[in-house]
Amino acid sequence: MSETNGTPPQGAPDRNLALDLVRVTEAGALGAGRWIGLGDKIAADQAAVDAMRLMMDTVTMAGVVVIGEGEK
């Protein structure tokens, strides 16, 4: 923010990539939670992946996300 009037500087981003990615992680955790509680690891994993994919589609970024299972 500008020190003089409290407005964001010109050209400042209107979002925060780190917070967007936190929301992706949160969606995965919420998606998996019910299935973990029921003891179904496979369904929990799928629910987390599905929720995270939906949220990742809302994040504007150029990049490749690679995890332990590889690219899809």
- What pLDDT does 67 receive? 76
Q: Which tokens go with 53?
A: 């994919």
- What pLDDT does 6 receive? 64
pTM equals: 0.70
CA distance 24 to 31: 11
**Composition of the chain by helix, strand, coil, percent to 5:** 50, 0, 50
Query: Would you kindly state where each structural domain of the chain is located, as residue ranges?
Result: 17-56
- What pLDDT does 48 receive? 96
Backbone torsions φ then ψ of 9, nearest 5 degrees: -65, 150
pLDDT in 10s for each residue of the chain, 72 residues? 555 666 666 765 677 899 999 999 999 999 999 999 999 999 999 999 999 999 999 999 888 887 766 555
Is residue 27 within 8 A of residue 51, CB to CB? The reply is: yes
